[in-house]
Chain A
């Protein structure tokens, strides 16, 4: 029995305080200014205040808390990546996820479901095996499985995929999970707020002041702040912030769309991804199917929705699960994905002293929320990149040291 619910019955007035303090004005200065109150920015603030004793922090958000990609993603959490640096990084994230709800005292509906990345070609099976082997090497529970295993795990799936792309096997990743994305931002936000961090919504950064090669302040729509440390965690808006300090990166921004069905009684337990069909689907705690596909094909800084997206995704969904024809699509939306050429993030110190970057999160950022908070808070507090993010430094491109995460993209014969 969840006894804490009794509190609600026993008091006339709702006994819950504000999760996020409303601050009337900005202070003249802070030790750290974080741009972006999404999951990453709030997580960094949380760990700064909790683990590094740095509380004089302002998180500036031009919209509403968690209103960027944190509130728009398809909530898949996994660590079945291809490269050693990726696997170590995301595995640490999955580890942190386990305790998050208890840390926050907030239910995140973190639900371990098992995750299948379906392979429809030989070359895809090869890649799944590669990922499985690297995962296993680092103790992450993934396995390349055959068609029979897939059918046992997903009994209702059409193994022939509409007759045109039969499923040969999959990468099965046992720790694959989903969670309530908004709640993660709220949990980190409340935790940071309780420890003295100031979250300022409806506050847009308009400029960054630099003197002698170091950050000295931030200009906002609500006034100027003096600070020597700025963490930029704004996903699809990263290039606009970086323009303020003249920093160039490989980041390019394309919309990423998603859609959700009406709630239906639970029938899909695991999380399904198809590499060839470029679709992924899971069923939420509300019974809705949350579905996504590949990135929009051209650069656009708008979260508009398209019809061909829902058409194509619905078609592929019916290839996998032909009986879903009468399930209705309720809503579609989009976010702005900050992509990089090697499908890995850009994290850590930058050539500008005091300016720290957490960006390049493309389509892979939500699952990394906890480990980003942890590593970026360490990096901001110490001024040096946390070991786990060394492979993601901005200067890797200048040295032609891209990560191999996209390296598995194969061209068949």
Chain B
């Protein structure tokens, strides 16, 4: 290959030369080159090594329909050289070589081809002793480009797009469809993966009209990567992902040129004719000086004319078909003096001294369609262009639910049945003549624009939305329109050769015999063939190989291609970088209104669902354990303050509010006195504990209750559902984010609080478990005397905006009494000392109230509550485990949560919570234990980290203040 002189190369800007490096050497290029075109222009003989045999490779499709030209570029792996702009200073190297492209040590594998048939890696290497060594070898050889482990995270934005008609493919039929849709009043988005849109043979006036149309958004360098439900198409461009929602989609992506299969068809210099034309016309690079065209369709002759127009000599046309091509294009070739070798097939490409193609052996085709290999003709050449057929770019059409059938006349799959809102046009629809493609595009675009609109001609459709003109009549699947005189594809462009190396899949280095051998081994359906041979599983996902593979299989099986069926089409059409799919990755985090106060106090954060909460407050000079112990002590001896604002908070209003609570919680709440609270245990239908909280009755028809932090969204949603189902006369409001909440607790808490509130805090006016409303620090508040941590204390709920004010006031007022803010860890210890279980830590996904000793919170006599019927069954079944208290003598080796309790060599349970209690001067915990062992006083053994055993004893779970004296009247000053 070589660079043609100016002005060749429509995309080149020769006034801007570039320099770049490939495999450590400097090369020139121009702005407007792609990496491959610049390398080709520079005459680099080969650009890559193949995946398995490490054979030298160069440009094949020049369209990202193969992986011959994948490069490592500036640390980025698997860059598609054919379709990536060249940039100044790029450092490019080949991938998957050992010791560089030229001296690749692994090229020796090509010689061992006979030993490495299809599936060879399944047949050996699995001996137990040596497999690890072979595995290391395979791992060293495997993979393509290299990941740079210290590349920075790239966050790319995403966009949502909406249009009436999405047209995929800006060739003649796509442009025509877009114009027709726009003429009918539709908003149109037209995408094409080409870096620049040139119309691919469409009339220049049409391209200009599309560019000028206000309602058409024309987007080059945009790949329609996948079709998703309800006409959502992922559009991938260089810098972003656009999620396009259309009312209708026109698939006009054209057809993918298919290679001819003959020995050494993978030599550098053998390429697809359409690729050579793009290389030449866009980038001014000639495929060679003595070009041979292997022809089986009209496109081959049109290619010769275009080559000749740029001064590239075609030294011969090897015409595969028995009958000669007629018509003006062929005549022009003959007039040019290009010899046409009729009824000959390519047999073997000859390798020259520099590893590129130097000649072609052609053999006569016989009457049966086979070849006579006895006396091949040698044609010297330095480039072989293959123009033997096409396969539709139907991947997205299939993903959209389109059904295809195989057209014998066209020798390609064509759409047969399309879901509503989906249209196909052009070569993808089996239409090859240019005028017909334009007409087919107009039809499809017009129909697409009318999706969701009535035909203007219907008399009764007066009030329905309309388009300016009626849709064109549907012609779509007319075989005559499709075929005419044209046969665009050779039915079997595959030539057997005894020495093989006639490649069907260039990505995977698969030859004809590989596929036949796989079929011979029983992998003789298209899916099994793919999985065993890996045909179509490489980076280009079968674009240039699936059709020929199907033909080989069909021949092996002695059936028609139609019988075999296609393998499943899946996104992505071209692979999409993860950065585009990931986007900017928003991770919402919820913070309570008092968050800034915690930060100011040195809070060490921990996640709680998607909230953050203070685990503890770090104090200089104190270790974590010391701080937590000090926080606990402050609560027990004076007063502490904790932000409990992450709890779910729900109000239920209405005459049936109490009834609703009676049904969804295990306890009874309809009879709860106004101004009192009660613990609520929530079960699911199978009787398992799923959540808990405190329920306060503020008025006859108003309850205010809490849920766990993690459960609030699901509980609220389920309550809404049940309320909708039961149709009770009540309404639920989720005020979780509307309220800040703190727990102000300790023997001194009442005393301190008195000065801040007008609420009467005396024991008679405000007994344990009561709820009162009033002002605290000037802020309207709901106060509840609850007992979670076992001290006199008040859970105070205020409107969210007042949270910081409340916190500051309580904090300042409490400081003189030794107040410390306390976090989740301290709270865990405090509640453990009172034996309160935490749902999800001390209970698991199977724990029922019998096992958790929580039957006191269950009112079985109610007419109905969720889980009630199951509890009756569970009562009969008996508990499978019991939640008990555990005491350990103070020991240096404290078990951790989830260390197992072992009895007679069997697992008998586990520790669920554990802590050292300064107040009690021992270590305490909760444990799930098999019922036989769950008696107070029973000794147990706990296995810790190193396998050693620590002794403990089953105890009553209420360790601290078992008689609840701290809550009794007169308990504190």
Contacts and interface: CB of A to CB of B under 8 A. Distances in A.
A touches B in complex, CB < 8 A: yes
Most central of A156, A287, A304 by chain B CB within 10 Å:
A287
A287 B234 contact: no
B582 interface: yes
Nearest to B154: A325
Given A121-B607, A164-B587, A264-B77, A413 B709 contact: yes
A110 B131 CA distance: 9
Interface in B563-606: 568, 570-572, 575-579, 581-583, 585, 587, 589, 606
A410 interface: yes
A393 to B, nearest CB: 16
A162 B582 CA distance: 12
Contact of B570 (A183, A317, A332, A400): A332
B226 A413 contact: no
B763 interface: no
A346 to B, nearest CB: 17
Which of A98, A330, A413 has the most chain B CB within a 10 Å cutoff?
A413
A19 B145 contact: no
Contacts of B135: 109, 111, 285
B214 interface: no
Interface string B110-151: 000011110011111111100100110011101111111111
B310 interface: no
B751 interface: no
Nearest to A101: B126
Interface stretch (B364-372, B468-476, B837-845): B837-845
Contacts of B121: 107, 109
B198 interface: no
A410 B243 contact: no
A294 B415 CA distance: 35
Contacts of B126: 101-102, 105-108
A299 to B, nearest CB: 15
Contact of B846 (A105, A129, A402): A402
A18 B520 contact: yes
Contacts of A285: 135, 138-139, 142
A64 B947 CA distance: 49
B709 A412 contact: yes
Contacts of A163: 587
Contacts of A120: 607
Contacts of B153: 162, 318, 322-323, 325
A406 B142 contact: no
Contacts of B525: 64, 201
B824 interface: yes
A323 B122 contact: no
B517 A14 contact: yes
Nearest to B880: A401
A192 B528 CA distance: 18
B877 interface: yes
Given A324-B578, A325-B582, A412-B609, A264 B143 contact: yes
A301 to B, nearest CB: 15
A264 B151 CA distance: 15
A378 to B, nearest CB: 25
Interface in B887-904: 896-900, 902
B845 A407 contact: yes
A305 interface: yes
Nearest to A120: B607
Interface stretch (A1-9, A352-360, A364-372): A1-9
A239 interface: no
Contacts of B899: 129, 133
Contacts of B140: 266
A143 B628 CA distance: 28
A310 interface: yes
Contact of A67 (B527, B846, B874): B527
A329 B77 contact: no
A144 to B, nearest CB: 8
Interface string A326-338: 1111111100000
A4 B124 contact: yes
A90 B943 CA distance: 23
B229 interface: yes
B873 A264 contact: no
B147 A323 contact: yes
B820 interface: no
Contact of B900 (A137, A332, A413): A137
A331 B899 CA distance: 43
A181 to B, nearest CB: 9
B11 interface: no
B4 interface: no
Contact of A18 (B521, B531, B709, B846): B521
B585 A315 contact: yes
A324 B910 contact: no
A14 B572 contact: no
A65 B528 contact: yes
Contacts of B516: 14
A103 to B, nearest CB: 10
A129 to B, nearest CB: 4
Interface in A372-413: 399-402, 404, 406-413
Contact of A130 (B125, B234, B607, B910): B910
A142 interface: no
Contacts of B150: 323
A327 B150 CA distance: 13
A203 interface: no
A298 interface: no
B73 to A, nearest CB: 10
B513 interface: yes
Nearest to B870: A400
B711 interface: yes
A26 interface: no
A127 interface: yes
Given A130-B910, A411-B710, A18 B522 contact: yes
Contacts of B670: none
A129 B134 CA distance: 35
B208 interface: no
Contacts of A263: 142-144, 539
Contacts of A266: 139-140, 142-143
A237 interface: no
Contacts of B844: 404, 407-410
B123 A5 contact: yes
Contact of A323 (B152, B572, B690, B900): B152
A162 B587 contact: yes
B578 A322 contact: no
B139 A400 contact: no
Contacts of A413: 608, 613, 646, 708-710, 824, 838, 840-841
Given A266-B139, A314-B582, A408-B844, 18 more contacts: A2-B124, A4-B123, A99-B128, A101-B131, A107-B126, A108-B126, A123-B841, A130-B910, A134-B907, A162-B587, A165-B607, A183-B122, A201-B525, A325-B153, A326-B577, A327-B78, A333-B570, A400-B687
Interface of A: 2, 4-6, 8-9, 14, 16-22, 63-67, 71, 84, 98-99, 101-102, 105-111, 120-123, 126-127, 129-130, 133-134, 136-137, 156, 162-165, 182-183, 186, 201, 261-267, 285-287, 304-307, 310-311, 314-315, 317-319, 322-333, 342, 399-402, 404, 406-413
Interface of B: 76-78, 96, 114-117, 120-128, 131, 134-135, 138-140, 142-154, 226, 228-229, 232, 234, 241, 243, 399, 513, 516-517, 520-525, 527-528, 531-532, 539, 541, 568, 570-572, 575-579, 581-583, 585, 587, 589, 606-609, 613, 646, 686-687, 690-691, 708-711, 824, 838-841, 844-846, 870, 873-874, 877, 880, 896-900, 902, 907, 910, 943, 947
Nearest first, the 5 A-B pairs at minimum CB distance are A287-B143, A411-B840, A325-B579, A2-B124, A328-B575
14 contacts: A67-B527, A107-B126, A129-B898, A133-B898, A133-B910, A287-B143, A307-B234, A310-B581, A314-B579, A325-B582, A332-B570, A402-B846, A411-B708, A413-B708
